[in-house]
Amino acid sequence: MKICELNPSVRPYERLEQFGASALSDEELLAIVIRTGTKGKSSKEIASQLLSSQCLSSGLSGFHKMEVAEIAKFEGVGRVKAIMIKACLELGRRSVMTSDKEVLRFLCCDDSIRFFQEKMSFLESEEVQAVYLDWQKKMILHKTICKGGVNCVDFSISEVFRTAVRVNAKGLILAHNHPGGSLEASREDIAITNTLVTSGCLLGIDVLDHIIVVDGDAISMLKLGLMEEKQDGD
């Protein structure tokens, strides 16, 4: 059955107009982007098949890891619709990203989680990033420390603090991601974090939190009680 043949109360377009986009399922929103079906399949059926595929086992976030050509291979999609899907995802990502030009304050763990979740969720490789703060916990600088994770050869604790001293930071928040991995802090993550906390105390620079990001989700080591010394960031 074509979308236009459905009862208006269950058509994605009409439902979005009446109830708002947040009321629609992933399938309905994707059907709107796909727009038209093929012979024997409505756009809603194509959306359903896409979402049930193994490539999207992690949900809509799976699209971020797929190239246009990969999406286009699905029956009823093709190049143009694949491009539209990727464009819509990028618009959504940009709409929620906080501009570094704004004066940001990190007053609690959730502020840190939200910031790094937006910045690091869909990176394809591991990175270590840090936010440097003034005494009011306003952001002075957001910097990528290294690419390759906290175990990479380029990761330098001294570099973390060298930058902090250079920008006269009173505190910092570290973050790294686990692309396609587990949303848990490893023994190495905990050890390095506590080394940073201890080093920071000696320099008068508070290491307020360490955020771990995985595909659209994130945790705070401070919030989970994994940091050796309790700070004021919670």
52-77 tens-digit pLDDT: 887 776 678 788 878 899 999 998 99
Q: Tell me what the mean pLDDT of segment 40-55 comes to.
A: 87
pLDDT at site 5: 65
Mean pLDDT for all residues in the chain = 86
pLDDT tens readout for residues 1-20: 566 666 667 788 898 988 89
pLDDT at site 98: 56
pLDDT tens readout for residues 192-220: 999 999 999 999 999 999 999 998 789 99
Which of 183 and 221 is assigned the larger pLDDT? Answer: 221
CATH number of 109-220: 3.40.140.10
Instruction: Determine the 3-state secondary structure of 140 from DSSP.
Output: strand
Q: Can you give the residue ranges of every domain in the chain?
A: 3-96, 109-220
pLDDT at site 234: 41
CA gap 72, 56 in Å, rounded: 14
Q: Tell me what the mean pLDDT of segment 161-180 comes to.
A: 92
Q: Tell me what the mean pLDDT of segment 217-234 comes to.
A: 77
* DSSP code of residue 4: G
End-to-end CA distance of the chain: give it in Å, rounded: 53
Task: Supply the pTM of this predicted model.
Answer: 0.66
Q: Tell me what the mean pLDDT of segment 38-53 comes to.
A: 88
Helices (H) and strands (E) in the chain, counts: 8, 5
- Check whether 160 has a pLDDT greater than 90: yes
- Check whether 171 has a pLDDT greater than 70: yes
CA gap 143, 108 in Å, rounded: 20
Q: Tell me what the mean pLDDT of segment 152-156 comes to.
A: 67
pLDDT at site 93: 74
Q: How confident is the model at residue 233 (pLDDT cuts 50, 70, 90)?
A: very low
% of the chain with per-residue pLDDT over 90: 50
CA gap 172, 157 in Å, rounded: 12
Confirm if 139 and 131 have CB atoms less than 8 A apart. Answer: yes
pLDDT at site 230: 46
- Check whether 231 has a pLDDT greater than 60: no
pLDDT at site 90: 84
